[in-house]
Amino acid sequence: MNQQAATPRTAIPQRIATDVLVIGAGSGGLSTAAGAVQMGADVVLLEDGLMGGDCLNYGCVPSKALLASAKHAHAMTAGAPFGVEPVEPEVDYARAMGHVEETIRTIAPVDSEERFRGLGVTVIRERGRFTAPDTVQAGPHTITARRIVIATGSSPLVPPIPGLDTVPFLTNETLWKLRERPGRLLIVGGGPIGMEMAQAHRRLGSEVTVIEGGKALGKDDPELAAVVLERLRAEGVGIEEEAKVAEVSGPEGAITVTAEDGRAFEGTHLLIAVGRSANVQDLGLEEGRVEYSPRGIEVGDDLRSVSNRRVYAVGDVAGRLQFTHVAGYHSGVVIRSILFGLPSKARQGHIPWATYTDPELAQVGLTEAEARQKHPGRVEVARFPFDENDRAVAEGATAGLVKVMVVKGRPVGASIVGRDAGNLIGVWALAISAGLKMSQVAGMVAPYPTLGEASKRAAGAYFSPRLFENAAVKRAVRLVQRFRP
């Protein structure tokens, strides 16, 4: 995995005064440090683990790299409709994990200690702990700061399942150490991480069963989630819903997960993927007079601590949406406040997210159910299926749908399932962020043939009944045609 060498820790105590102290070198912390120092602030950055945080080392980057390997393996078995004889791929799991490692290694310099020192940031590879509201101890160093940004991220949530303390299990942090392919992988948790890793490992040759206490992909629109789940089941992934785990047992290589209703599942490996827990432990938050809960630091919409006005929180530890791009967005919010004293608040209604299964699943704003609850009687839903998109038909990627929730002519949410949904959602994220009207999206010219036309066609579908089923419009057209010279 990523072997970032830390600068040797010095034993010489130092007292440091700075403008901005950032605790944590994940996405939010690095963005904050880079932005602040390049605008002229004195910045100290603390990190006692790997530079780049969870996203680079354990999350977004390695998972997408493994999904890419799995995609290549799957393509070898799925070419018949295109005139390509299917063959069984010979999967070298260790080399697939080598691709993961190389991907991390390639990206790591962007997040490295050397780069940030070059920008002018004082990087200290020690854990920070508050000793006063404006002071943090980091190894032998005592740091006093005008503003402190907590960016410590989150860690895999390990639930109190009976027997789990005696059974070997994996999380998204330890999965990447594997070099032998799991024979039968059990995954507890049917959210994005669980489903992505389920499909990846099934395509790489493992038997996979997902065990979910509620509904798999339960936070997404159920109509669109069903498209993804149907594909995974067709590929051989077992998905057991409403299966709340009662206990786990067994030694390495022979693990049993038993549900409360008596269902039992056997496997060689166990992956726990039930969510994330904010990293608020061992930070001395009490001494810093920083209020917190298991969800994270208690902050207002300005991401400022409700109890210590010197302190801000960004990313997962801020107790809001837990995505890398949200951490980057948060950093922009706090930089405006810290450096320029401008009022700045974090919003969530325009934040998109995606699950990178095949097909992908993406969302921005309100789902249909949420929109109807928030705007009763005022929601119109515009839809366009991928099987009417020429590019999707040409590529055999017709399992998909764009669905847009509209109130008074403006989109308040968009849900997409299908190939490249994570890219396609960007148009709707922009539309919602900028307060655009559906007419402006419908007026967009998309190149032909592209999947991007699906968004334009969905916007057009909103106007179709107004134009083609409107008697007044038809009368006006007839009058124009009759009297126009």
Output phi, psi for 405, to 5 deg.
-95, 125
DSSP state of 10: P
CATH value at residue 308: 3.50.50.60
pLDDT at 481: 75
pLDDT at 5: 44
Single out the residue in 340, 372, 391 at which a domain terminates. Answer: 340
pLDDT at 13: 72
Q: Is position 250 annotated in a ligand binding site?
A: no
Q: Is residue 414 part of a domain?
A: yes
For residues 211 and 266, state if they share a domain. yes
Residue-level pLDDT, tens digit, the chain, 485 residues: 444 444 445 457 789 999 999 999 999 999 999 999 999 999 999 999 999 999 999 999 999 999 999 999 999 999 999 999 999 999 999 999 999 999 999 999 999 999 999 999 999 999 999 999 999 999 999 999 999 999 999 999 999 999 999 999 999 999 999 999 999 999 999 999 999 999 999 999 999 999 999 999 999 999 999 999 999 999 999 999 999 999 999 999 999 999 999 999 999 999 999 999 999 999 999 999 999 999 999 999 999 999 999 999 999 999 999 999 999 999 999 999 999 999 999 999 999 999 999 999 999 999 999 999 999 999 999 999 999 999 999 999 999 999 999 999 999 999 999 999 999 999 999 999 999 999 999 999 999 999 999 999 999 999 977 665 667 766 766 777 777 77
For residues 148 and 37, state if they share a domain. yes
Q: Is position 120 annotated in a ligand binding site?
A: no
Q: How many domains does the chain have?
A: 3
pLDDT at 484: 73
For residues 360 and 326, state if they share a domain. no
The residues, ordered by sequence, that sit 6+ positions from 321 with a Cβ below 8 Å of its Cβ are 348, 351, 353
The residues, ordered by sequence, that sit 6+ positions from 67 with a Cβ below 8 Å of its Cβ are 196, 199, 200, 356
Q: Is residue 248 part of a domain?
A: yes
**Closest among 289, 293, 295 to 315, alpha carbons compared:** 295
Q: Is residue 179 part of a domain?
A: yes
- Residue 163 three-state SS: coil
- 355, two tokens: 């699950």
Q: Is residue 192 part of a domain?
A: yes
Q: Is position 218 annotated in a ligand binding site?
A: no
For residues 198 and 311, state if they share a domain. no
Q: Is position 275 annotated in a ligand binding site?
A: yes
pLDDT at 11: 53
For residues 146 and 174, state if they share a domain. no
Pairing of the two strands 14-23 and 141-150? parallel
Q: Is residue 76 part of a domain?
A: no
- Residue 301 three-state SS: coil
Q: Is position 28 annotated in a ligand binding site?
A: no
For residues 41 and 151, state if they share a domain. yes
Specify which residues 430 forms β-bridges with. Answer: none
Query: With contact defined as beta carbons under 8 Å apart, do 239 and 233 qualify?
Result: yes
Query: With contact defined as beta carbons under 8 Å apart, do 113 and 267 qualify?
Result: no
pLDDT at 387: 97
Single out the residue in 260, 275, 290 at which a domain terminates. Answer: 275
CA–CA dist 466, 459 (Å, integer): 12
Q: Is position 64 annotated in a ligand binding site?
A: yes
The C-alpha R_g of the chain, in whole angstroms, comes to 25
For residues 134 and 44, state if they share a domain. yes
pLDDT at 349: 92
For residues 294 and 304, state if they share a domain. yes
**Mind giving me the DSSP string for 109-157?**
GGG-HHHHHHHT-EEE-S-EEEEETTEEEETTEEEEEEEEEE---EEE-
Single out the residue in 235, 258, 275 at which a domain terminates. Answer: 275
For residues 224 and 302, state if they share a domain. no
CA–CA dist 472, 411 (Å, integer): 26
For residues 360 and 381, state if they share a domain. yes
pLDDT at 2: 46
For residues 151 and 281, state if they share a domain. yes
Q: Is position 338 annotated in a ligand binding site?
A: no
Count of CB atoms situated within 10 Å of the CB of 281: 10
Specify which residues 150 forms β-bridges with. Answer: 23, 313
**Mind giving me the DSSP string for 427-448?**
HHHHHHHHT--HHHHHT----S
Percent of the chain that is helix, strand, coil (3-state, to 5):
35, 25, 40
Q: Is position 113 annotated in a ligand binding site?
A: no
Range of the domain at 335: 14-51+112-155+277-340
Q: Is position 154 annotated in a ligand binding site?
A: yes
| pTM summary value | 0.93
pLDDT at 483: 78
For residues 40 and 122, state if they share a domain. yes
Q: Is position 194 annotated in a ligand binding site?
A: yes
Q: Is position 59 annotated in a ligand binding site?
A: no
CATH value at residue 441: 3.30.390.30
